Chain A
Amino acid sequence: MADFSNLLDEVESSTTAAVDNPFQSQDEYNDPAPILQQQPQEDEEDYNADDNTEQQEAAQIPSVLLQAETQYREERERDTSALIETDRNKSREDGGDYDHEDGDDSILSPDEDYETLKHLWIQELNCAELLPYHRQSIPVLMELLSAQEEIIDDLQDQGKNSFSASSGNVDPSLASLAASVAKMDLDRVSFLLADLTRTRLGKIEKYALHNREVLDRMSDEEISYLKAYGELYEQHMRRSVTDHIPKEAWRKLDEPSMIERPNLDAYVFCYVVDEDGVVINNHEGIDIDDEEELEDGPDPEERYDSGAYLFVRYGLIRNFILEGRVELLM
């Protein structure tokens, strides 16, 4: 059995040479970087060799995997940059806008924004109470939406005009394909934003009296919405019921027992994100009458490390969620 690290060195030194590879000849598609396409196949051969190695070489396998991964990633980056290059070439006439948006936004940054948005949406859906308004991302996303719409309109125009003096380099069918893909993306983001806003409005309305105390969790528009809604509601109640009740004392609409508060005892699925783990006191927030039970039972405080999935009472992890150390799951 050959020494494996030597095999690897051989492989690396031979990547620059054009090795006759049976897989490549079948490809009609002209890949601009044939050398890059070789490497995964050669790694495949290495993998086959892997299976035949003895256990003593198991320690070296992870490094092979690591290298394969970096090579694959480099190749993918080179492919995507090649894509950006071809797109740039195709739309040079459009001025800076198209390639800037497409190069950056369609590959990298909307994904981050989109992930944030999706994360916010999932948290808001599964939480009984109103979560703090994400001042950093939500307005940015809204602007992104309107920018996207313009791009789509541009793309659609390009799709329709086969002979256009200004955009001679653009392939119309490709542009309309890009337009429909971008439209789907826009629809996704619109849906998430709309549903997030609707969920928040629903919670604001449902726990309107309670939310008067947590104004810091709402955006300015939401606060004015709450006020207007509260007035509308109160006015209707007064007009229909309480104005006809004799004494002032019975006319109150916001006695403590009348305020509906979000149910903090609901059970939720969650996931510990914080690397240091969290310590949860099982007895937090509930009254335990029997002193004996407290002493005999298991220790109420338990530690959960990062990566743990839990099914807990919402009240226990409430603070962790607000700090971001624990996340809610769908």
Chain B
Amino acid sequence: MNYGQKAKELLLDLKRSDFIPPYNKDTVRDALSEISLHFQELEDIQTALHRANPENSTRVRVDRSLRPPLLLHDAAIKRNKRCLLAYHVHRLEKLKRLRWDTTAALPPHVKSLLDEAEVDFYTGYDKLVSRFNDKLGGGLDLNSNVQPPEEDLIEVRVVKSGLGTIVTDYGEVSLDLGTTHFLSRGDVEHLIRQGSLQQIDGEETS
């Protein structure tokens, strides 16, 4: 019986990766079965006590020497539970951050890292936030205006191909690869966030 080793492995996994590691279903299952093992031990002790005091089934007088194992197993279960919850919560936090940063649907390379339940969570969360956004009114979009506005018009360079044209207040702009444009911030903000356009600071370093 390794007390909390599997749970520790899960947490180390999280620590070692930038974003999130692939969902380690096996280790999670192992940790859960550890909890069951501890519980099994507790039950055994309990039946042993019952057998020792058959007439006193409700109020079991616990022998002093039997108290440590009870406490230990209870603590082990709680520890495993805490580690498992922390593992899942951490992954959820990363998913939420992803949603706020990109506003997009789940990209496939992320989806492969997730468990089924997490995919459901992501879609549910996406729906929740979008619904809140729509209810806000005033034309306010929570996913735009992430930085304080500095200039109205910014210079951008197209780094991804196949973007087509966008319609601005000044007419249509065709976004060919490598071209530079001077456009209003509101129109291009979401493209910059996606990474299709790159903002030019005015200080050319590359």
- A residues near B (Cβ < 8 Å) are 141-146, 149, 156, 180, 183-184, 187-188, 190-191, 193-195, 197-198, 201, 205, 221, 225, 228-229, 232-233, 236-237, 239-242, 244-247, 250, 253
In this complex, what residue of A is CB-closest to B36?
A246
Q: Can you list 8 A-B contacts with CB-CB less than 8 angstroms, sorted by A residue number?
A: A144-B138, A145-B138, A146-B137, A194-B141, A240-B88, A241-B81, A245-B32, A250-B35
CA distance A156 to B77 in the complex (A): 66
CA distance A166 to B131 in the complex (A): 41
Among B47-55, B56-64, B103-111, B120-128, the stretch that binds chain A is B120-128
Among B142-150, B158-166, B194-202, the stretch that binds chain A is B142-150
CA distance A246 to B43 in the complex (A): 11
Chain B: interface size category: 35 or more
Query: Which single member of B85, B117, B125, B185 contacts A187 (CB below 8 Å)?
Result: B185
**Are B128 and A229 interface neighbours, CB within 8 A?**
yes
In this complex, what residue of B is CB-closest to A149?
B139
- B residues near A (Cβ < 8 Å) are 28, 32, 35-36, 39, 77-78, 81, 84-85, 88-89, 92, 96, 100, 115, 117-118, 120-121, 124-125, 128, 132, 135-142, 144-149, 152, 169, 185-186
Query: Which single member of A143, A191, A239 contacts B149 (CB below 8 Å)?
Result: A191
**Are A197 and B128 interface neighbours, CB within 8 A?**
no
If the complex has contacts A194-B141, A195-B145, are A245 and B35 also in contact, measured as CB distance less than 8 A?
yes
**Are A236 and B118 interface neighbours, CB within 8 A?**
yes
Query: Which single member of A149, A191, A205, A232 contacts B145 (CB below 8 Å)?
Result: A191
Query: Which single member of A144, A197, A241 contacts B84 (CB below 8 Å)?
Result: A241
CB distance from A177 to the nearest CB of B (A): 12
In this complex, what residue of A is CB-closest to B82?
A258
**Are B85 and A197 interface neighbours, CB within 8 A?**
no
CA distance A233 to B84 in the complex (A): 14
**Are A232 and B125 interface neighbours, CB within 8 A?**
yes
Query: Which single member of B28, B32, B137, B148 contacts A191 (CB below 8 Å)?
Result: B148
User: With a CB–CB cut-off of 8 A, which chain A residues contact B141?
Assistant: 194
**Are B121 and A193 interface neighbours, CB within 8 A?**
no
**Are A145 and B139 interface neighbours, CB within 8 A?**
yes
If the complex has contacts A240-B115, A250-B77, are A187 and B136 also in contact, measured as CB distance less than 8 A?
no
CB distance from B115 to the nearest CB of A (A): 7
CA distance A245 to B82 in the complex (A): 12
**Are A237 and B88 interface neighbours, CB within 8 A?**
yes
CA distance A242 to B77 in the complex (A): 11
Residue among B32, B138, B149, B169 facing the most chain A CB atoms (10 A cut-off) = B138
